[in-house]
Structure 1
């Protein structure tokens, strides 16, 4: 059973709009849209000003540990237009991106990678827009 996740109302609205736009353009695999949509449906939604800083929101920068390899990673969860794998900017429409949204520091998250299921742990939120008073990023 998956853990509960928490997202902001603003992220919810923007991501619903993103899903609808991507369904129309058909530029993204439908499976990725379905996974994100499923995550959004099960999420608890809160006002952006009330989310606590340990939660992963859009445009958050994170420190993670790959539980299989022990490798430490730093990445930022972004919208598809801003994604750049080399810079560590992971799209919310990627399997890892949609898996991270709404989880918090200390959580272990399982996601479907090309080589099979992977597990990562969220070690630290390096930056969260809402914690910095940025509610329109």
Structure 2
């Protein structure tokens, strides 16, 4: 998977209903190129399907946490791709400093969160992790 495929996959992850024209404009390529690349990613299994998010899907999970990950070697991008495919993962942030990735998690139970944490820790390339549960959240005014 090259950089264009990764950019296309990221765009589709953000908006799975984006038109070929919009994706082509975003990536600076033709609609035919976008269509061909999507077809190839589906054939390889990089894209397993498309889904719909409902209003309920966007509601806050009962149990939320932040998992900070240190990745060994050059595997951060591979780990990030695996993480964004997990249902409990709400966002993956790359960062500088001690941690390579910060993962926002949301589950309905502590037991479910525990299983997700275990699965993430077992991923190839994950060297160490630290997880904090989110107890309360306050948001500031949104900028326009």
TM-score by length of 1: 0.29
Larger strand percent: 1
TM-score by length of 2: 0.28
Higher relative contact order (CA 8 A, sep 6+): 1
